[in-house]
């Protein structure tokens, strides 16, 4: 299946693995790329540029296919060494970067002069248009269903994707609620040229996270996520657990007086405990509503092959209906 996304990134299938904290290690990125998609290493999970360089090199020993790096630009207490991370990406020969968070304009020349294609994550049409204006090569349009940060507009993909298609000239992929062949065909029908999957890729055999995390996703339904940090305008969709319930109780009690410091126990530094150690109640962790569509833990290749087989069958069936 060829789209502008497959041609831009040199991949077989229009499927991109989202950058996920303490999930996007070399093992998963290589598995996705080997299966014909675009695997993504999560840059800031690596604590220093040197460690990112080592992770890129490690990924190269696992795949000879294209893969990318996610680099999130967010306000933090201690600012990451972004020039160092970008140098590690360029020196490592990576040709695809998924940017997220704040405007990446400052860093685009350095990346694009090195032949790196940049796809920026956006949660609104206005942000996608800005990404296009500043020179991003593509965008990932994230609907309200997505795990992680869905923005503050609460627009689901059935509206957001065709709106993006109406406005954008650069190609975009659909993110949020993507899980199977139906998702891919729907995304294409709504104007996207591929899809980005995060939560679905966590529940695969190669995902280097604790089995408890995978089991929690399979056990969850579409009703089991919650939105946290809305009063701080830093909304995050997470899987419900006791820590999330405590966090929401604090938000309700403190209202407009809520400060980040009030919930730091539930959100700061929890990912290694959850993803690596399997301490499922250690804090809030990103998970999409798509958990309701996830019922097994296949290999990445099994998953991608199944998606493409389903998508092709749906397209064929629809074509047959048209020809009747």
pLDDT confidence of residue 5: 98
Q: Does 323 have pLDDT greater than 90?
A: no
Confidence of residue 78 (pLDDT cuts 50, 70, 90): confident
How many angstroms separate the CA atoms of 282 and 265, rounded? 9
Q: Would you list the domain boundaries of the chain?
A: 4-204, 221-286
Confidence of residue 238 (pLDDT cuts 50, 70, 90): very high
Q: Does 261 have pLDDT greater than 70?
A: yes
How many angstroms separate the CA atoms of 19 and 42, rounded? 5
Q: What mean pLDDT comes out for the span 304-311?
A: 98
CB 114 within 8 A of CB 92: no
Give 32's Cβ-side CA count (13 Å radius).
32
How many angstroms separate the CA atoms of 212 and 204, rounded? 12
Number of residues assigned to the chain: 324
pLDDT confidence of residue 77: 63
pLDDT confidence of residue 319: 86
pLDDT confidence of residue 280: 97
- For residue range 154-180, what is the model confidence (pLDDT) as tens digits? 999 999 999 999 999 999 999 999 999
- For residue range 6-30, what is the model confidence (pLDDT) as tens digits? 999 999 999 999 999 999 999 999 9
Q: Does 322 have pLDDT greater than 80?
A: no
- For residue range 132-159, what is the model confidence (pLDDT) as tens digits? 999 999 999 999 999 999 999 999 999 9
| Average pLDDT for the chain | 96
Q: What mean pLDDT comes out for the span 209-222?
A: 98
> What dotted CATH number matches 4-204?
3.20.20.70
pLDDT confidence of residue 243: 97
pLDDT confidence of residue 76: 65
pLDDT confidence of residue 264: 95
């Amino acid at each position: 299946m060829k789209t502008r996304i497959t041609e831009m990134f040199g991949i077989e299938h229009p499927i991109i693995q989202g950058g996920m904290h303490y999930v996007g290690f070399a093992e998963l990125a290589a598995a996705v790329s080997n299966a014909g998609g675009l695997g993504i290493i999560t840059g800031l999970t690596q604590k220093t540029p040197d460690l990112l360089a080592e992770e890129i090199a490690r990924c190269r020993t696992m795949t000879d296919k294209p893969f990318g790096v996610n680099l999130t630009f967010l306000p933090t207490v201690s600012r990451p060494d972004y020039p160092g991370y970008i140098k590690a990406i360029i020196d490592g020969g990576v040709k695809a970067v998924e940017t997220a968070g704040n405007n990446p304009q400052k860093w685009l020349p350095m990346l694009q002069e090195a032949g790196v294609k940049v796809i920026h994550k956006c949660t609104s049409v206005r942000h996608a248009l800005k990404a296009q204006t500043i020179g991003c090569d593509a965008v990932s349009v994230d609907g309200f269903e997505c795990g992680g940060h869905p923005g503050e507009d609460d627009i689901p993909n059935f509206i957001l994707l065709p709106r993006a298609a109406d406005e954008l000239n650069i190609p975009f992929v659909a993110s949020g609620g993507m899980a199977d062949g139906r998702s891919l065909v729907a995304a294409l029908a709504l104007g996207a040229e591929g899809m980005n999957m995060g939560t679905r890729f966590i529940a695969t055999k190669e995902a280097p996270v604790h089995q408890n995390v995978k089991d929690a996703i399979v056990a969850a339904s579409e009703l089991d996520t919650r939105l946290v940090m809305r009063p701080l305008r830093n909304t995050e969709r997470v899987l419900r657990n006791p820590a999330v319930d405590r966090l929401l109780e604090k938000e309700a009690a403190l209202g407009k007086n809520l400060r980040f410091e009030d919930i730091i126990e539930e959100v700061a530094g929890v990912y290694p405990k959850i993803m690596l150690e399997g301490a499922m109640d250690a804090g809030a962790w990103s998970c999409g509503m798509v958990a309701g569509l996830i019922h097994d833990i296949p290999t990445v290749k099994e998953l991608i092959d199944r998606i493409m087989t389903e998508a092709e069958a749906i397209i064929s069936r629809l074509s047959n209906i048209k020809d009747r």
